[in-house]
Structure 1
């Protein structure tokens, strides 16, 4: 089978699939006697990405694999295809998500300690139902509170390959920019958001939404969360 035929098959599979496909899944499309090596598949994927440069779609690698998607800058037009209004998220929900993302694994009490207010059950329910966060373990203290971390779906929905691609807090974009990127993936999904301030903080950044934390406070919080042990739990959860 020629390289061009292999590339066409991979391209068609990515278009037909509703979920991202990884190299192993793409390899299983072929019989054993014609199956390309993983490195050959990666090379073909790189060629496909170049083929689609400058067009309305792009080949993107995210946490779960590779997928074709509409370019984020086109979302203002493409989102009009959906009759439903894309979900908007409250500042409280985005604060909570940001803390889980940047301090995972973290307990609910740890989130409340930094924010200075209680985390509503509806916020945690929304994040869990959206499959952006999951319980990755339990802290070895009385009561064994749940530890929360992010998921592969979080990486997929935020166009990330790995958590290492997350920007430093100082470089986080305004919430409305993040919202536009999410609209492409969720315009057709309904989501019950927290009543009240949803959509009222379009000018806020995730960094601005977080309470100010001094270096000493950050160090103390990190120590309380036992990072060495718990980071291993998150790494295992993401693989």
Structure 2
């Protein structure tokens, strides 16, 4: 659409400059680019997107568990316990399941094998490649 020989990096820089001061930014994710909400605007956008009061109503720890499942899937409750240093309640996993964010994943083909958990399409990722890498997490202060 922009012609052969066009510099994608320069186009991205132009787009980033155009978005300066707006609630969105362009961020590099893996080998591609992502248009995302700037953290300062997230509460207002989330409030505006709350169609008929259907917010996810997740606490900070709930979100942390959901992120751990996304990064380490398939993962068992014991695996989550190793990450957080405490037992993850069935109620928490149940709430994430009720909101269609988490589903049961594969189990070993043996009797009594523990359930694993994976994220669903409702989590909003096309692929696990959409997750930020270690360097991106460090850039945001999370790594």
Measured against the shorter chain, the TM-score band is: 0.5 to 0.7
Q: Is it true that 1:165 corresponds to 2:134 in the alignment?
A: no
CA contact (8 A) 2:56 2:99 kept: no
Q: Closer, same or farther in 2 for the Cα pair 1:165/1:79, shift >3 Å?
A: same
Runs of 4 or more, structure 1, over 4 Å off, are 71-75, 80-83
Q: Deviations over 1:53-98 (max 9, x none)?
A: x9xxxxxxxxxxxxxxxx9578736718857484442222122111
CA contact (8 A) 1:139 1:147 kept: no
* Structure 1 alignment gaps of length 5 or more: 1-53, 55-70, 174-204, 209-239
Q: Deviations over 1:74-129 (max 9, x none)?
A: 87367188574844422221221111111111111111112110101221011111
TM-score for both structures, normalised by structure 1:
0.36
The structure having more radius of gyration, on CA atoms, is: 1
Q: Which has the higher contact order (CA 8 A, sep 6+)?
A: 1
Q: 2:59 aligns with which of 90, 94, 102?
A: 90
Q: RMSD in angstroms over aligned alpha carbons?
A: 3.5
1 or 2, which has the higher helix percentage? Answer: 1
TM-score for both structures, normalised by structure 2:
0.56
Q: How many residues in Structure 1 have an aligned counterpart in Structure 2?
A: 104
Give 1:143 deviation, angstroms: 2.1
